[in-house]
């Protein structure tokens, strides 16, 4: 990829001959814009305001950002602090995240119900596991990967292994959300994420060694975009990051720090910076990106942002991976200003929220259609939400086979509950049941519409010819 132009420093600009400093001081051109945070590589191609040159405009911008700059207890490989600048639009986006990911988002009852919630969570974990792996090179299709995770079958190749590992890693962090980030937890997470997927199996679950030189390379053209700090300093640098990650803040809120509370850091900012720093430190030979994204989820959950579990940031990142790289590069090349990364990451979160809205709305429509086909309100009395969801799925995927184990994983229920769900659907004639080896597999009948019509008529007291367990050829009980 094309590396962004390194911006001129403030000291360089102030000392430059011909710089009209008096006009820069008086100009309002550097005022932080309401909806963007322009890097030098973009600003220099726009028309400057107030008759300024591009360099004068950039100096005015840098002065305004410096006045709102907050130093962080995180440093680059030369010891210089990372920092971010306050801006109204940054806090506006944080407020939107607080509203949509930290509280009760306006969603259909299906999402907030205790049972349906598990179904959406399972789908979200699967989506994040798949797309995070695809960002790292996994080539398995979404359909095949989802089938593997739902059925519980063993991975067939390295790509599927990576996806299964990412799913296991997300579950591991869900279970350990209340634990402090530490070296053992980080190494165990890396072990889970990378087992069986690295060229060097010895590199799984350990930090990179001083003899292992790694770099971040754009796979499209081989350009080196980042060289991480020396491995000899990793333990000390990670200790600093652990202290930063484990600091406790008040619950979700989006307020600008007051003069009396300069130590407050918004929890979402903290989570995004953990993501940034793992990518910057690159503590492992491989698997750093998936580790960084997983720890973002851990930090958000730790701070009470429960809705984040239903989001897939990797789905958004994967649509434009170059923007992900540039967010890092803009921050590293412009005085360690991580506002660029925060700006990018917040937009990713908010877009993920919008996509979740669309996903849940689609699922609600599908559920209502299934209920309509089953006789409207009677469907609620006849079938539970898991059974209605499965029938809605058969409408779109009539050739899919369903197993008790897969149904159990999809809804996070016991084996007996999943078994009861599927057997009742078979009893009603809405699924056909057959044995494949030692496993019972359920399919949508070819004459599903006729059977459904017969069932509805029978519910209303009309005669119907519906195959059930009492008829010849009845299914065998698993």
Q: Which domain holds residue 423?
A: 386-459
Tens of pLDDT along the chain (478 residues) come to 678 888 998 888 888 756 787 788 777 766 766 678 999 999 999 988 878 889 999 998 998 899 899 999 999 999 999 999 988 889 999 999 998 876 554 555 544 555 555 666 667 778 888 888 888 877 777 778 888 887 788 999 888 999 899 989 989 998 999 999 999 999 999 999 999 999 899 999 999 999 998 888 877 777 888 999 999 999 999 999 999 999 976 544 444 544 434 578 999 999 999 999 999 999 999 999 999 999 999 999 999 887 788 888 888 888 888 899 999 999 999 999 999 999 999 999 999 988 888 877 777 776 676 667 665 666 667 888 889 889 888 888 888 899 999 999 888 899 999 999 999 999 999 999 998 888 899 999 988 878 887 887 777 665 444 444 444 344 445 5
Within-domain flag for 469: no
Helix H or strand E segment including 71: strand 69-75
Residues 419 and 329 in one domain: no
- Rounded alpha-carbon distances, angstroms, from residue 362 to 71, 145, 266: 44, 22, 33
Maximum Cα–Cα distance across the chain: 97
Check if the beta carbon of residue 250 is closer than 8 Å to that of residue 303: no
Residues 264 and 205 in one domain: yes
Residue finishing a domain among 67, 89, 112:
67
Residues 310 and 419 in one domain: no
| Predicted structure pTM score | 0.78
Residues 164 and 292 in one domain: yes
Within-domain flag for 168: yes
Residues 177 and 267 in one domain: yes
- Rounded alpha-carbon distances, angstroms, from residue 37 to 66, 223, 319, 327, 344: 13, 25, 21, 11, 10
Residues 85 and 99 in one domain: yes
Burial 271-284 (b: 16+ CB within 10 A, else e): bbbbbbbbbbbbbb
Residue 445, domain CATH = 1.10.10.10
Residues 253 and 177 in one domain: yes
Within-domain flag for 471: no
Within-domain flag for 464: no
Within-domain flag for 381: no
Please count the structural domains in the chain. Answer: 3
Residues 53 and 86 in one domain: no
Residue 227, domain CATH = 1.10.3290.10
Helix H or strand E segment including 82: strand 81-85
Residues 199 and 332 in one domain: yes
Residues 56 and 177 in one domain: no
Within-domain flag for 214: yes
* CA-based nearest residue to 357, from 95, 105, 97, 131: 105
Within-domain flag for 451: yes
Residues 85 and 52 in one domain: no
Within-domain flag for 370: no
Residues 343 and 391 in one domain: no
Total residue length of the chain: 478
């Amino acid at each position: 990829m094309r590396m962004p132009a390194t911006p001129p420093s403030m000291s360089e600009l102030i000392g430059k001959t011909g710089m009209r400093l008096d006009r820069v001081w008086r100009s309002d051109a550097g005022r932080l814009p309401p909806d963007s945070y322009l890097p030098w590589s973009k600003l220099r191609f726009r028309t400057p305001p107030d008759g300024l040159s591009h360099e004068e405009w950039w100096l005015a911008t840098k002065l305004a950002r410096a006045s709102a700059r907050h130093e962080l207890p995180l440093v680059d490989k030369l010891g210089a602090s990372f920092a971010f600048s306050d801006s109204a639009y940054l806090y506006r986006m944080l407020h939107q995240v607080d509203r949509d990911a930290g509280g009760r988002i306006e969603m259909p009852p299906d999402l907030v119900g205790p049972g349906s919630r598990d179904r959406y969570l399972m789908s979200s974990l699967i989506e994040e596991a798949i797309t995070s792996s695809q960002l790292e090179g996994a080539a398995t299709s979404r359909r095949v990967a989802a089938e593997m995770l739902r059925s519980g079958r063993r991975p067939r190749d390295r790509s599927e292994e990576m996806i299964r590992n990412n799913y296991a890693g997300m579950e591991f962090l869900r279970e350990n959300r209340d634990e402090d980030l530490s070296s053992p937890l980080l190494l165990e997470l890396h072990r889970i994420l990378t087992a069986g997927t690295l060229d060097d199996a010895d590199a799984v679950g350990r930090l990179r060694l001083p003899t292992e030189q790694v770099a971040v390379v754009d796979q499209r053209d081989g350009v080196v975009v980042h060289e991480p700090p020396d491995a000899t300093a990793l333990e000390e640098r990670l200790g600093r990051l652990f202290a930063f990650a484990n600091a406790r803040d008040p619950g979700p809120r989006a307020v600008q720090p007051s003069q009396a509370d300069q130590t407050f850091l918004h929890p979402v900012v903290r989570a995004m910076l953990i993501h940034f720093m793992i990518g910057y430190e690159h503590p492992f030979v491989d698997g750093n990106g998936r580790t960084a994204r997983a720890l973002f989820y851990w930090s958000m959950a730790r701070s009470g942002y429960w809705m984040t579990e239903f989001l897939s940031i990797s789905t958004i990142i994967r649509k434009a991976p170059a923007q992900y790289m540039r967010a890092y590069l803009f921050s590293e090349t412009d005085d360690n200003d991580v506002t660029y990364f925060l700006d990018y990451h917040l937009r990713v979160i908010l877009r993920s929220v919008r996509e979740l809205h669309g996903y849940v709305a689609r699922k609600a429509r599908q559920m209502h259609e299934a209920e309509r086909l089953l006789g409207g309100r009677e469907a609620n009395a006849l079938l539970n939400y898991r059974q209605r969801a499965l029938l809605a799925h058969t409408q779109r995927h009539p050739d899919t086979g369903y197993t008790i184990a897969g149904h159990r994983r999809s809804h996070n229920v016991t084996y007996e509950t999943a078994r009861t769900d599927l057997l009742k659907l078979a009893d009603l004639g809405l699924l056909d049941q057959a044995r494949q080896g030692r496993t019972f597999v359920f399919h949508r009948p070819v004459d599903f519409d006729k059977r459904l019509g017969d069932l509805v008529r029978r519910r209303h007291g009309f005669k119907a010819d519906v195959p059930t367990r009492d008829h010849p050829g009845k299914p065998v009980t698993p």
